[in-house]
Amino acid sequence: MTASAFLYPWDVNGDPAAPGRVAGLGVRQVTLASAYHSTRALTPRHPRHRVVTAEHAAVLYPLGDRWADRALRPFPAGDWAPGDAWGEAADALADAGLEVHTWVVLAHSSRLGAEHPDTSVVNAYGDRYPWAPCIAQPATRAYLVDLAAEAAVRPGARGTELESLGWYGLPHLHAHDKTGGVGLGEAGQYLMALCFCPACRAGYERRDLDPDALAAAVRDALEPLWRGRAEDDGGWAEVVKLLGETYATATRAWRDATARTLQEAAVAAVRAAAPDGFQVLVHADPVSYHCGANAGVDPAHILSVADGVVVPCTGGPGLLAPFAEQGRRAAVVAANLTVVSGMGGSPHTLAADAARARELGATELRLYHAGLASDADLTAVRRALAGG
């Protein structure tokens, strides 16, 4: 199977040995971040630094003219990725014989929420999630679609992977996080993700729901969880039990339709800007009401829109099957495996994990993350890809 390694530009720029080291892993492709959220990252082999702090979500290339006079616009990177950091790294990787694709993070930006608070998801209690732009808002949708097109189609890129192309909810890595004290389960996470910004309230009204009554019902449904009732992993059935069939069905229909139309628009915008043969993949979860970096999707729908999906498989390959079962022979179904031991990955079982993923329908591999992994992790990856 084709394997691609994730990288940041700062893993490559300033380290002349990096492109050859990555090519030496046995991967054919690199998925290189061109628009990324804030992060603090180790660079364990870089000759100039060991820690990179990306202070806010940013594009890692010079902004285009399309953003002039627009209130919502991407933020340029600071000194962690100056100038055309993506282009510099992409050129070096291409010179090493690697095919370079872009990695674009979309509906996930705490700085956007801080500077434009009205763009954020608002839960049933009125709490704002600054890291989570509400994808129902027209201006936010227009921003995300244009960001997808610009950040995806960089010079020399042969394809793209679109992350966070859907709803974002409560779970979010945050400084000194203290949100784990109550186990919410899938149902509680769904209820805490429901948005009540003006755009979503209007959306509920169009589905004959009273937004205030719905918010009260959501708060009532969550009350047993706050009192310490054990979390239930009953999935959607538990949402229906807590919220009631009418509210559960109507809110999911609203959110599913909102995400699907955004995915359609973003992929169409990328295709319009890209050359022929440009591959468009979406980081995806096959359960449409799930939120986060791997957007909840309808498998049949997303494979009718994009060229394929990248599916999280570090916890096991079970999420692959709903995509593989669609029977779309030309579709890419890429299994995303963490190969950083310190982040819960298992590079020493990569060969077995890849084989199991192939059995369940994976056509390609994604390896997270060649820049963060230790030398020992990379050695295990190299051996696995070489069949050793």
| Dist CA 337 CA 316 (whole Å) | 9
Q: What is the pLDDT of residues 240-295, one digit of tens each?
A: 999 999 999 999 999 999 999 999 999 999 999 999 999 999 999 999 999 999 99
In a domain, 263, yes or no: no
In a domain, 255, yes or no: no
B/e letters for 127-139, b = 16+ CB within 10 Å, e = fewer, are: ebbbbbbbbbbee
pLDDT-derived band at 183 (thresholds 50, 70, 90) equals confident
pLDDT, residue 172, reads 77
pLDDT over 80 at 141, yes or no: yes
N- to C-terminal Cα separation, the chain: 15
Q: How far is CA 273 from CA 32, 151, 264, 282, in A?
A: 19, 10, 14, 17
What is the pLDDT averaged over residues 348-353?
Answer: 97
Expressed as residue numbers, the domain containing 380 is: 2-181+277-385
On whether the CB atoms of residues 388 and 348 are closer than 8 A, the answer is no
Q: What is the pLDDT of residues 93-116, one digit of tens each?
A: 999 999 999 999 999 999 999 999
The CATH number of whichever domain residue 290 belongs to comes to: 3.20.20.80
In a domain, 268, yes or no: no
In a domain, 51, yes or no: yes
In a domain, 252, yes or no: no
pLDDT over 70 at 91, yes or no: yes
In a domain, 187, yes or no: no
What domain count does the chain have? 1
In a domain, 204, yes or no: no
pLDDT over 70 at 87, yes or no: yes
In a domain, 210, yes or no: no
pLDDT over 90 at 80, yes or no: yes
Which of 258, 247, 332 shows the shortest CA–CA distance to 295? Answer: 258
What is the CB neighbour count within 10 angstroms for residue 251? 26
pLDDT-derived band at 174 (thresholds 50, 70, 90) equals confident
pLDDT-derived band at 229 (thresholds 50, 70, 90) equals confident
